[in-house]
Amino acid sequence: MNRLNNKTVLITGATSGIGKSCARYFASEGANLVLFARREHLLDEVKNELKKLTEGDIYTSPCDITNYKNVQQVVSALPEQLKKVDILVNNAGLAKGLEPIADGLPENWDVTIDTNVKGLLYVTKEIVKGMTERNSGHVINIGSTAGHDVYPNGGVYCATKYAVKAITQTLRIELVATSIRVTTIDPGLVETNFSNVRFNGDSERAKNVYKGITPLTPDDVADAVLYAATRPPHVSINEVILTPVNQANSNFVHKVKAD
């Protein structure tokens, strides 16, 4: 039984990793999908894959979430039947660099803050307005264990994920008199393209992040997102923290050395 027939789900950063998995999970439940990402050719590829899973509408649009005017334009251009977004998954996020603050590159800070904080705010602002008018909806933000405890050389990234937690908690309070649910899903180590981006394409260094541990997969996180989205209307899953078994938090990870 498809639990999300006739529901419209908007996912940012939908062409890879957690975003792409979320799109597949929601498609399998019959939802209509609105997918935002920067690269149009990857959006086309994802759309073609998802058509095999659902008869629901799939609408894709290139969107630079760090540009508020672009977000406004893309949201206002949504087809009429998809303008009423029922579930917003703020997934787009990244980290650039892994250095002490004294050695950090301000241009990396700008990209990280603009994407993880300002981009999330821009999309949320444009979508929550309609949810408030309809007194219905669900905002699901993809946070991180880095929003609960910091780690060396990750100061700016951690700050952005603490910001996601603060924005999520504030939004929940602001909407408490409505029927709109607000959730944050906060994973630990997930093997995606995240580390490759952080290390500017150094794939060997990126692989080392996950050596000696069985990390979460994007599907593990998407499963948690779908769980939160499919609870009865009176139930709000406020926060989920999930990690690999051998990760206690951002700083404590047990890795098995190779023989």
Would you call 232 exposed, middle or buried from its count of C-beta atoms within 10 A (0-12, 13-18, 19+)?
exposed
| Per-residue pLDDT at 197 | 86
| Per-residue pLDDT at 259 | 56
Residue 211 in domain? yes
Residue 144 in domain? yes
**18 phi, psi to nearest 5 deg:** -60, -40
Domain boundaries, position 22: 8-242
Task: Establish whether 162 is a catalytic residue.
Answer: no
Residue 258 in domain? no
pLDDT along the chain (259 residues), means of 10: 90 96 96 96 96 92 98 98 97 95 97 98 98 98 97 96 98 98 97 86 86 95 98 97 96 84
Read off the CATH number of the domain in which 180 is found.
3.40.50.720
Residue 23 in domain? yes
Residue 251 in domain? no
Residue 247 in domain? no
Residue 77 in domain? yes
| Per-residue pLDDT at 258 | 66
Residue 3 in domain? no
CA–CA dist 122, 130 (Å, integer): 14
Catalytic residue of the set 157, 162, 210, 227: 157
**Domains in the chain, number:** 1
| Per-residue pLDDT at 198 | 86
